[in-house]
Amino acid sequence: MEIILNNRQESFDREKITISEILQIKNYTFKMLVIKVNSKLIKKDAYDIFEINEGDNVIVLHLVSGG
């Protein structure tokens, strides 16, 4: 399947994938993330169950302390 991840085309070798699986595959190990799928905010407690489908637009924003 192909999705858009942070404005870039990404391919995964399966038909459905959860947010947690994407984070694992892409090695996003950061704690403070904000994730949007097709404009919708997805909260952390849904990462294990929320499924990403072909063509979905996923934004992963990593927040770091400082300001």
Partner 1 sequence: MTFEEIKTKLKNYTIGIAGAGGLGSNCAVALARVGIGKIIISDFDIVYESNLNRQYFFKDQIGLRKVDALKENIKRINPEINVIDNNIKLNENNIVEIYKDCDIIVEAFDLAEMKKMLIETCLSELPEIPVIIGSGMAGWGKNNAIKFRQNENLYICGDEKSEIADNNPPLAPRVGIVANMQANTVLEILLSKK
Spatial CA neighbour of 63 closest among 39, 37, 38, 28: 28
Binding site for partner 1 (CB under 8 A): 7, 31-34, 36, 39, 41, 43, 59, 61-67
Contact 17, 47 (CB under 8 A): no
Between residues 6 and 16, which has the closer beta carbon with respect to partner 1? 6
Could you give the CA distance from residue 53 to residue 67 in angstroms, rounded to a whole number?
Answer: 36
In the bound state with partner 1, the residue whose beta carbon lies nearer, of 7 and 11, is 7
Give the shortest CB-29-to-partner 1 separation in angstroms: 13
Q: Which is nearer to partner 1, 25 or 63 (CB)?
A: 63
The 8-class DSSP code of residue 31 comes to S
